[in-house]
């Protein structure tokens, strides 16, 4: 079973600061892809990044994703008030689909 570990659990930052979120996979396969989602209270998750580094339609370029081996990173270059939310990573493209436990980005 593939496990995705997100860190930190909570990130306390101020608007304008840079946020770096980590997602580590216990293993990946050649057909594995990683997605990042943003979720706000009462809303469905919103796709930000797919294929580890491709921004979804309409996502601002302050959001970027990268991969190094089994380590994935979501970077928000300059936090805006609307960015304070919970972020999840998900592996897909190979069985089984797996979610990370989430990182909450809160206002400091």
Partner 1 sequence: QVQLQESGPGLVKPSQTLSLTCTVSGGSISSGGYYWSWIRQHPGKGLELIGYIYYSGNTYYNPSLKSRVTISVDTSKNQFSLKLSSVTAADTAVYYCARVPEPWGQGTMVTVSS
Q: Which residues bind partner 1 (CB under 8 A)?
A: 1, 33, 35, 37, 39, 44-45, 47, 50, 56, 88, 90, 92, 95-102
Judged by beta carbon, residue 10 or residue 15, the one nearer partner 1 is 10
Q: From the centroid of its chain, how far is CA 34?
A: 9
Residues 103, 71, 4, 27, Cα dihedral to 10°: 180
Judged by beta carbon, residue 36 or residue 79, the one nearer partner 1 is 36
Judged by beta carbon, residue 17 or residue 64, the one nearer partner 1 is 64
Q: From the centroid of its chain, how far is CA 32?
A: 15
């Amino acid at each position: 079973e593939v496990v995705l570990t997100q860190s930190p659990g909570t990130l306390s930052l101020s608007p304008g600061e840079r946020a770096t979120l980590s997602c580590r996979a216990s293993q990946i396969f050649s057909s594995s892809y990683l997605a990042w989602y943003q979720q706000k209270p009462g809303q469905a998750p919103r796709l930000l990044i797919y294929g580890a580094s491709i921004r979804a339609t309409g996502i601002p370029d302050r959001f970027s994703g990268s991969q190094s081996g089994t380590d994935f990173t979501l970077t928000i270059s300059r936090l805006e008030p609307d960015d304070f939310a919970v972020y999840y990573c998900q592996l897909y493209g190979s069985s089984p689909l797996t979610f990370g436990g989430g990182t909450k980005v809160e206002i400091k």
